[in-house]
Amino acid sequence: MTDVVVIGGGQAGLAAGYFLRRAGLDFVILDDQEEPGGAWQHGWQSLRLFSPAGYSPLPGWPMPAQKGETFPTAGHVVDCLTQYEQRYDLPIRRQVHVFDVAHDQGRLVVETDDGQIGATAVISATGTWQRPLRPALSRP
């Protein structure tokens, strides 16, 4: 049993972890990826942030500028997310797939391929990478 389970270890999951740690809560971040970086590891190599690094911090740590680049590349973002995880020693369990969250006798039960985790609260930070929202387009 833990206070909070965060599902997703990308930018939102890491930011949640930062504030959970500051609040003194017991938590775990579950991520189905092999490595840090969230959806940024799967995008095009040419993908960049649309704002300079100075305007793209994570809580508690500004994103370092990328030498010679105004807008950080995907690789730089992945590197920064990796460093952030290490800097704050966030409790992340990798390659864990969440299948269900259910309410059971006053607690939440997170069902994973690695067993069950009981929690008081769950934060969904999964993003849209696995199942992106694709609006229906009518064709002429």
The confidence score (pLDDT) of residue 132 equals: 53
Give 6's contacts (C-beta < 8 A, 6+ positions apart): 13, 16, 17, 20, 27, 28, 29, 30, 122, 123, 125
Query: pTM here?
Result: 0.88
Highest mean pLDDT of the ranges 11-20, 39-48, 70-79: 11-20
Percent of the chain, pLDDT > 90?
66
SS3 22: helix
Is the pLDDT higher at 128 or at 27? 27
The confidence score (pLDDT) of residue 135 equals: 55
User: Rounded CA gap, 65 and 45, in Å?
Assistant: 18
Highest mean pLDDT of the ranges 4-8, 41-45, 47-51, 97-101: 4-8
Q: Which CATH superfamily is domain 2-124 in?
A: FAD/NAD(P)-binding domain (3.50.50.60)
What confidence category does residue 27 fall into, taking pLDDT thresholds of 50, 70 and 90?
very high
Can you list the positions of beta strands (E) in 63-128?
Answer: 92-94, 98-104, 107-112, 115-124
Which two structure tokens, joined as six digits, stand for 16?
């949640």
Domain locations in the chain as residue ranges: 2-124
